[in-house]
């Protein structure tokens, strides 16, 4: 079938027409929130890595034996509720942790000079596709905690592949 549209033509950018609508329609968005519910966020289910960190900073920030977290580009996470209630710990212009200012939950950390965020898996409401693949900073592990799963251990950062 052939139709004219009155001579009007639209120039489509081939890159946009091929990738943008597909990527947008397939994107799965996960929600997360703090303990009291004052702060909510939304993050794409497109995490690039997930790890269990045993460093003393992560243990103290969460009050746990270790912190399961997943990394993603900062632009793929946004605060959807309670933006004015957050508590920022660290350098707001660089690396910092974002907590709920009411109940104190650690929601995510801004890392790599602002390029990425490390989302605490424990604050997600929805189930992410990714799973933690290793234990890192096992050299700083709490002595009272024994790792009983089969994931690889790294003394510090995971060795880049
Ligand atoms: Zn809260
Ligand atoms: Zn850590």
CA of residue 148 to ligand 1 center, whole Å: 31
- pLDDT tens for each residue of 63-73: 999 999 999 99
> Is 33 within the bounds of a domain?
no
- Ligand with the closest atom to the CA of 135: 2
How much is the mean pLDDT over the chain? 88
Percent of the chain with pLDDT over 90: 81
| Interior/surface letters 87-114, b for 16+ CB within 10 angstroms, e for the rest | beeeeeeeebbbbbbbeebbbbbbbeee
CATH number for the domain harbouring residue 79: 3.90.1590.10
Question: What average pLDDT does this structure show over 123-145?
Answer: 98
Q: Indicate whether 129 belongs to any domain.
A: yes
10 belongs to a structural domain: no
The helices-and-strands tally (H runs, E runs) of the chain is 2, 10
**Is residue 35 included in any domain, yes or no?**
no
Structural domains in the chain (count) = 1
| Domain-embedded: residue 147 | yes
Domain contains 41: no
CA of residue 5 to ligand 2 center, whole Å: 59
**pLDDT of 150 higher than 70:** yes
Owning domain of residue 159: 47-161
Q: What is the pTM of this model?
A: 0.82
From the CA of 53, the nearest ligand is 2
120 lies in some domain: yes
9 CA to middle of ligand 2, Å?
Answer: 55
**Cβ(151)–Cβ(52) below 8 Å:** yes
Distance 69 CA to ligand 2 centre (A): 9
pLDDT range class, residue 45, cuts 50, 70, 90: very high
Residue 3, Cβ density class (10 Å: 0-12 exposed, 13-18 middle, ≥19 buried): exposed
């Amino acid at each position: 079938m052939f139709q004219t549209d009155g001579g009007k033509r639209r120039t489509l950018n081939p890159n946009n027409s091929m990738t943008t609508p597909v990527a947008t329609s397939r994107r799965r968005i996960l929600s997360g929130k703090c303990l009291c519910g004052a702060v909510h966020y939304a993050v794409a289910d497109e995490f690039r890595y997930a790890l269990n960190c045993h460093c003393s900073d992560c243990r103290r920030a969460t009050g746990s034996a270790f912190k399961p977290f997943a990394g993603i580009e900062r632009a793929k996470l946004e605060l959807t509720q309670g933006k004015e209630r957050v508590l920022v710990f660290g350098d707001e212009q660089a690396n910092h942790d974002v907590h709920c200012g009411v109940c104190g939950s650690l929601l995510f950390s801004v890392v790599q000079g602002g390029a990425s965020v490390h989302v605490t898996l424990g604050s997600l409401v929805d189930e992410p596709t990714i799973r933690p693949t290793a234990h890192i900073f096992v050299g700083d592990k709490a002595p009272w905690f024994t790792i009983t799963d089969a994931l690889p251990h790294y003394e510090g950062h995971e060795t880049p592949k």
